[in-house]
Chain A
Amino acid sequence: MSTLLAVEKVTVRFGGLVAVSEVDFHVNEGELVGLIGPNGAGKTTLFNLVTGVYTPTTGRIHFDRKLVNGLNSSSITEMGVARTFQNIRLFNSLSVLDNVVAAFNLHLQSGFLGALWRGAAFRSEEKQIRNEALALLEIFGLQAAAQSPCRSLSYGDQRRLEIVRALATRPKLLLLDEPAAGMNPTEKVDLMRLIRFTQEQFKLAVLLVEHDMKVVMGICERIAVLEYGRKIAEGTPEEIQKDRRVIAAYLGEEVTDA
């Protein structure tokens, strides 16, 4: 199994604040890895570093053996990294379907001129994208809402739509930022199944940030723990559950908060 994402000694400072410090971390191809830690531990910042929203102050990030430091988000996505957002960031004025369609942009053959000329190649591509988008929506049970404005979806459905939209970019690595937040227990079980399914179906590596320990322990093959911007532990779910530093980090905080 080869390494897909390699984070080497990455540090990022915002003014005087060190948000992520000397973190070493990797994700192998097709692996499902969890990233946990108390609030403010730097999990989302790490996501933002990997996806190019922020640039590391020091250290290096490789994806698919290519250095991605300093690249802009869209080029990193083009290399095969897709993500969802903790605070949902859908394209609010677009329909559910168009949110997914927009994410096909990356693989579009007919661009500016195609859209103006509207020839046969353009029309068949539009049709194909539409069908693919609908098929993706169907996996996540959203096909019925395809034409509705995405704002009308329930919170849980909006989170699912974010995953669908990310999948539309055809990633090799999917970063999920608290996908289960705001879901009820049944929805969470369902989500776990879906994450597993997409991972196998699309042969993805998944990096999961999640506060719900049931979800994390239930599906992750490997877990890394961050605290105050540093990695304090890494291992299988069993190892992490027994790790004294992890227990200490979580002490006083409800382990299963959602």
Chain B
Amino acid sequence: MGARSLVLIAALAVGLVSFCFTGHPEAAWPLAQIDDYLLNILILAGINVILAVSLNIVNGHTGQFSLGHAGFMAVGAYGSAALTQLNGKACLASLSFLGSAAPLGLFVLSLLVGGLLAALAGLAVGLPSLRLKGDYLAIVTLGFGEIIRVMIQNTESLGGARGLAGIPNHTTLGWTWLVSLISIYCVGSLVNSTYGRGFLAVRDDEIAAEAMGINTTRYKVTAFVVGAFFAGLAGGLYAHFIGYVTPEGFSFLKSVDVVVMVILGGMGSTAGVTVAAIGLTFLNEALREAEQYRMVAFALLLIILMITRPQGLLGGLGGLARWLPGKGGKS
């Protein structure tokens, strides 16, 4: 990744941070005119970008096939909500030294805790799944995702099947996109290094990678853990945006949503996947009225795409890719 994209990301990050801390988006100049509806879509888009970019390191760069991303998102969502909603008072009290910034501090802390819990779950999924490939791995990750969901459903302290309501609305546009950029930067930087060539080598040929001294096991687990961590962050952001989470919201279909973004964007292309995540979020909103037809159309699109253009709709997005890190995938 060139200095150019570093500068670009740094500039964007500074801009975003500056209005993260102003609390409300109205204070930020270019976004002053945004209405609530658009704002919400932009936040959802940001969360989807995090999900898609983080799934991409597993499915795209490392060539594994995870269908359990929603499970990690659920761990992050419930993990962070456990701090801010379930134990909010106690946690706030222990952060009282932060003064008026305590709620915000707790929010950031809860996001990190959610992310780390999800990363642990990623480790738990990654380790036993190592011997599996392709379709087997897909089913096992799907199974893990479902087990996570069933566990939450049966945990009364987390609200069981009813879900968990009253999660404080801390998530702003600024926070969402700050985390999005961090995830893009991290995945991009990881992949674009000698170290990161290991991920791509594992994807291209595991046996040759091993023969070149690349510890494929470690790379696969790393990919799972990093992917799960960011999915956990996305879950935390989502919980503190919607304010209400249910186990059903993190079902297999949510995982498929993210998989579709990664496939449309082109597996292994961070830029393509980012664009696909944003585009699909807007498309979903536009087609909300026609919800039933939307999924039929998506399914057809997926099939036709695989038959005619398996590298993804946006795979090989030359011009844009040069401005974003993670142009590693050429396949």
Provide the residues of chain A in CB contact with B209, threshold 8 Å: 74, 91, 102
Q: Which of B192, B216, B330 contacts A74 (CB 8 A)?
A: B216
B212 adjacent to chain A (CB < 8 Å): yes
Q: List 27 A-B contacts (CB under 8 A).
A: A72-B215, A72-B217, A73-B210, A74-B210, A85-B208, A90-B204, A90-B208, A91-B200, A91-B208, A92-B331, A93-B329, A93-B330, A94-B330, A101-B197, A102-B197, A102-B214, A105-B201, A105-B212, A105-B213, A108-B194, A112-B190, A114-B195, A115-B193, A118-B193, A122-B193, A126-B193, A168-B212
Provide the residues of chain A in CB contact with B216, threshold 8 Å: 74
Q: Is the CB of B197 within 8 A of A89?
A: no
Cβ < 8 Å to A, chain B residues 52-106: none
Q: Provide the B203-237 mask, 1 if CB < 8 A to any CB of A, else 0.
A: 11101111111111100001000000000000000
A45 adjacent to chain B (CB < 8 Å): no
B243 adjacent to chain A (CB < 8 Å): no
Interface size, chain B (Cβ < 8 Å) = 32
Q: Is the CB of A94 within 8 A of B201?
A: yes
Q: Which of A75-83, A193-201, A204-212 contacts B (4 or more CB under 8 A)?
A: A75-83
Q: Is the CB of B207 within 8 A of A89?
A: yes
Provide the residues of chain A in CB contact with B190, threshold 8 Å: 112, 115-116
Q: Is the CB of A74 within 8 A of B213?
A: yes
How far apart sit A52 and B205, CA to CA, in the bound complex (Å)?
A: 16
B168 adjacent to chain A (CB < 8 Å): no
Tell me, rounded to whole Å, the shortest Cβ–Cβ distance linking A158 to chain B. 12
A15 adjacent to chain B (CB < 8 Å): no
How far apart sit A166 and B268, CA to CA, in the bound complex (Å)?
A: 25
Q: Using CB atoms and an 8 Å cutoff, list the residues of chain A in contact with chain B.
A: 51-53, 72-74, 77-78, 82-83, 85, 89-94, 98, 101-106, 108, 110-112, 114-116, 118, 122, 125-126, 129, 149, 165-166, 168-169
How far apart sit A103 and B216, CA to CA, in the bound complex (Å)?
A: 13
Closest to A118 in B: B189
Provide the residues of chain A in CB contact with B193, threshold 8 Å: 114-115, 118, 122, 126
Provide the residues of chain B in CB contact with A105, threshold 8 Å: 194-195, 197-198, 201, 212-214
> Besides A73-B207, A78-B213, A106-B214, 17 other CB < 8 A contacts?
A52-B210, A73-B211, A74-B212, A77-B210, A82-B211, A82-B213, A91-B205, A92-B204, A94-B197, A101-B194, A102-B197, A102-B201, A105-B195, A105-B197, A106-B213, A108-B194, A116-B186
Closest to A149 in B: B330
Count chain A CB atoms within 10 A of each CB in B193, B196, B203 and give the residue with the most. B193
Closest to B216 in A: A74
Tell me, rounded to whole Å, the shortest Cβ–Cβ distance linking B202 to chain A. 9
Q: Is the CB of A83 within 8 A of B201?
A: no
Count chain B CB atoms within 10 A of each CB in A51, A103, A110, A165 and give the residue with the most. A103
Closest to A78 in B: B213
Provide the residues of chain A in CB contact with B201, threshold 8 Å: 91, 94, 102, 105
Closest to A94 in B: B200
How far apart sit A111 and B197, CA to CA, in the bound complex (Å)?
A: 11
Q: Is the CB of B205 within 8 A of A90?
A: yes
Q: Is the CB of A116 within 8 A of B207?
A: no
The 8 closest A-B pairs by CB, nearest first: A73-B210, A106-B213, A77-B213, A115-B193, A102-B197, A91-B204, A89-B208, A93-B331
Q: Is the CB of B268 within 8 A of A93?
A: yes
Q: Is the CB of B195 within 8 A of A110?
A: yes
Q: Is the CB of B213 within 8 A of A169?
A: yes
Closest to A80 in B: B213
Q: Provide the B166-195 mask, 1 if CB < 8 A to any CB of A, else 0.
A: 000000000000000000001001101111
Provide the residues of chain B in CB contact with A104, threshold 8 Å: 194
Q: Is the CB of A102 within 8 A of B211?
A: no
Provide the residues of chain A in CB contact with B194, threshold 8 Å: 101-102, 104-105, 108, 125-126, 129
Provide the residues of chain A in CB contact with B197, threshold 8 Å: 94, 98, 101-102, 105
Tell me, rounded to whole Å, the shortest Cβ–Cβ distance linking B230 to chain A. 13
Provide the residues of chain A in CB contact with B186, threshold 8 Å: 116
Provide the residues of chain B in CB contact with A90, threshold 8 Å: 204-205, 208
Closest to B197 in A: A102
Q: Provide the B240-274 mask, 1 if CB < 8 A to any CB of A, else 0.
A: 00000000000000000000000000001000000
Closest to A93 in B: B331
Provide the residues of chain A in CB contact with B204, threshold 8 Å: 90-94
Provide the residues of chain A in CB contact with B196, threshold 8 Å: 115
How far apart sit A171 and B211, CA to CA, in the bound complex (Å)?
A: 11
Q: Is the CB of B205 within 8 A of A92?
A: yes
How far apart sit A105 and B331, CA to CA, in the bound complex (Å)?
A: 22
How far apart sit A73 and B209, CA to CA, in the bound complex (Å)?
A: 9
Closest to A125 in B: B194
How far apart sit A53 and B198, CA to CA, in the bound complex (Å)?
A: 19
Provide the residues of chain A in CB contact with B189, threshold 8 Å: 115-116, 118
Closest to B195 in A: A115
How far apart sit A82 and B213, CA to CA, in the bound complex (Å)?
A: 8
Q: Provide the B123-134 mask, 1 if CB < 8 A to any CB of A, else 0.
A: 000000000000
Provide the residues of chain B in CB contact with A106, threshold 8 Å: 212-214
